[in-house]
Structure 1
């Protein structure tokens, strides 16, 4: 029988630093909840607003898969591997921090705010050689279907990471319904409603609500509002 963990949007950790307005689904920085450390291999979901021209100065990471999904605006990235890039809505970026990297992230726009998700996943291999990947996807390809944006496989659609995980984005017409099949035994799915209202296995979720589901082979998804959007993150439940 499926098990569920519901995280309502207003139950997330929150910090407003002026230049950064951020919500944390799981314990992060000054927000700590012993019941909300991680969901399987999924360690961090940060929902960030970064003011025009502002951002994170150079800082280190290691042994974490870091995925960035811009929602609105343009993200400027620089790192110790020599990568300099701008990441736009429709792009997905991943860094395998491995043995260690340093990077900075800034809002590349001086007049418009930047909104993004940054997600951390525990890797299945430690101390790998750090790597960077950025791709552009056709946003129209997620209309009334789930567009794969991440997998463990280099030849699949989307970016790849060192973990048996799959991420999908979907944007749906009202009343559109579909089933999602779990790809790997022992995995669970964390569903985050990006916008609108969506029903998963009979549970109604609003904007930025999160639902973890495990011990199941599939989940049922139905859009209850027009242009409802969801991010599905399938990850191993055991570290």
Structure 2
């Protein structure tokens, strides 16, 4: 069994107010039951981010199977027409993961890269990935911790998503698995409303 919540239009889910956000074309909050798998055919060149929230997943795109688990991200250069298969390898227990697809003006043929990250240092944003077109940041915050996020030079578009807990983000309440897209900004103030809250920010 597979369950997916779409932040933007995807497949048969089509709404007028759910258009892609700049280069961020897909942002799905996905769950796979034990032994389940899902296959996606890419309709264009995309850089694909896979971010397990709980457990781990196997993924394959035109090569051998690789594994990525919570505490890691996978970055996949997917050409138009490529097929991405994702599988829950466990016999018991569902796995939750984020799948984000970013359209880039140029995409190389580098093999998938798996990068670890560490959230033991709290109340700071850690950079997961950085390129001229996309930057990804994640942070774990204690209750009532506040901060200001400043976009990189030349970037004025960001997408914030709450993986755990709740935040007040630019005076908007964001609960568990809520997302917020902001245009024409260079900085954003936010405050954690719960202990152990985790925030993901994409500059696109």
TM-score category by the smaller chain? over 0.9
Pair 1:212-2:193 in alignment: no
Pair 1:64-2:46 in alignment: yes
Superposed displacement of residue 48, structure 1: 0.7
Q: Is contact 1:97–1:131 with CA below 8 Å preserved after alignment?
A: no
TM-score when normalising by structure 1: 0.80
Distance 2:151 2:116 in 1: 25
CA RMSD in angstroms comes to 1.7
What are the ranges of 5 or more consecutive residues in structure 1 without an aligned counterpart?
A: 1-18, 153-162
Superposed displacement of residue 186, structure 1: 4.2
Name 1:182's counterpart in structure 2: 151
Q: How does 1:15-94 map to 2 (within 5 A)?
A: 19-57=1-39, 59-61=40-42, 62-80=44-62, 82-94=63-75
TM-score when normalising by structure 2: 0.92
What are the ranges of 5 or more consecutive residues in structure 2 without an aligned counterpart?
A: none
Superposed displacement of residue 99, structure 1: 5.4
Distance 1:28 1:60, change over 3 A: closer
Instruction: Please give the per-residue CA displacement for 1:148-186, whole angstroms capped at 9, x wherever unaligned.
Output: 11110xxxxxxxxxx511111111101111111110324
Superposed displacement of residue 212, structure 1: 1.2
Q: Is contact 2:119–2:139 with CA below 8 Å preserved after alignment?
A: no
SS state of the match for residue 120, structure 2? helix
Pair 1:97-2:78 in alignment: yes
Pair 1:146-2:129 in alignment: no
Name 2:140's counterpart in structure 1: 171
Instruction: Please give the per-residue CA displacement for 1:96-119, whole angstroms capped at 9, x wherever unaligned.
Output: 113553332100111111100000
Name 2:105's counterpart in structure 1: 124
